[in-house]
Amino acid sequence: MTAICPGSFDPITNGHIDIIMRTLRFADRVIVAICHNVYKKNRFTPAERERLIWEALEGTDGITAEDLERVEIRVFSGLLADFFDECCADVIVRGIRSNSEYEHDLAQTLANRQLNPRLETIFIPANPEHIFLSSSIVKEIAAFGGDISNMVPPCVASALYRN
């Protein structure tokens, strides 16, 4: 089974890492799909986000070399429904932190199913320690010099403090 974990990953957080690791438990191949939206102002370029994701995954306890061989990181722009077919994927995996996020992602899922009836989505609830985590919150805390060491992998914290 091929699963796609889509997101902006600007930057990747420990919550994202957790969802990817949990997806590796049931999927043969996991595509971490970096959404490139030219209308959105991102802190990191798509290439920087890809590099940070690899560094983060390689430095994560519990992810083996065999697991990493099953991960692919790709940048895409356009419709997720089209990217799904391009990747010959079986399922989209979304991490859910709250009811409001579920409602938003459910609406997105239903729209994607209209565009591509083959598209299926699995919602994985966030672990309690990651419920509050979002890339936006992490960037804001880092911008004011706050401690983000328990929110992101060390390579991401370094990159945020450097920029």
Active site residues: 16, 40, 97, 135
Q: Which residue is listed with tokens 């419709």?
A: 79
Residue 39's Cβ-count burial label (10 Å; 0-12, 13-18, 19+) is exposed
Residues 6+ apart with CB under 8 A from 96: 102, 105, 123, 124, 125, 126
CA distance 18 to 114: 29
Q: Which residues contact 102 (CB under 8 A, 6 or more apart)?
A: 96, 123
- Retrieve residue 37's tokens: 């939206």
